[in-house]
Amino acid sequence: MAVDVVIYHNPECGTSRNALAMIRNAGIEPHVVEYLKSPPSRALLVQLIARADMTPRDLLREKDTPYAQLGLGDTSLSDAALVDAMMAHPILINRPLVVSPLGVKLCRPSEAVLDLLPVAQQGAFAKEDGEQVVDAAGQRVS
């Protein structure tokens, strides 16, 4: 079964690497978009936010970004202003954002990606920190 999955990925991010590995553990080779090198267009970003049933603020990343310097904690800023900031500084887009036939989701924690995969995991999976997420039978560990 061919499954079309897109991951907006930052290879420097452990959460993003774990989500990508879980997609591959399901036997899916996703379209990997390194969004810091190839950011989505404004229209696509707005569409992804809407499809994920989020607000721009929900997708805004604070850690290791210019969030504070840009004053993005100001709750009076409009959604358009927040999207403008993400377009100007793609590092402000939280990751990994995953698109599948089952929807769009910010996969934090990384195992949230399992909710978007229409096929089962093909074997055990442990995150980079050793936390077991999927058992040998391909079942999610609670």
pLDDT tens digits for range 17-53: 999 999 999 999 999 999 999 999 999 999 999 999 9
pLDDT confidence bin for 1, thresholds 50/70/90: low
pLDDT tens digits for range 51-89: 999 999 999 999 999 999 999 999 999 999 999 999 999
State both tokens at 1.
């079964």
Residue 2 clears pLDDT 80, i.e. is over it: no
pLDDT tens digits for range 85-123: 999 999 999 999 999 999 999 999 999 999 999 999 999
Check 7, 8, 9, 13 and give the catalytic one: 13
Opening angle at CA 52, ends 19 and 43, nearest 5 = 105
Residue 127 clears pLDDT 70, i.e. is over it: yes
The sign of the CA dihedral 88, 93, 98, 99 is negative
Q: Known catalytic residue: 107?
A: no
- Confirm if 92 and 59 have CB atoms less than 8 A apart: no
41 contacts: CB under 8 Å, gap ≥ 6: none
Phi, psi angles (nearest 5°) of residue 67: -50, -55
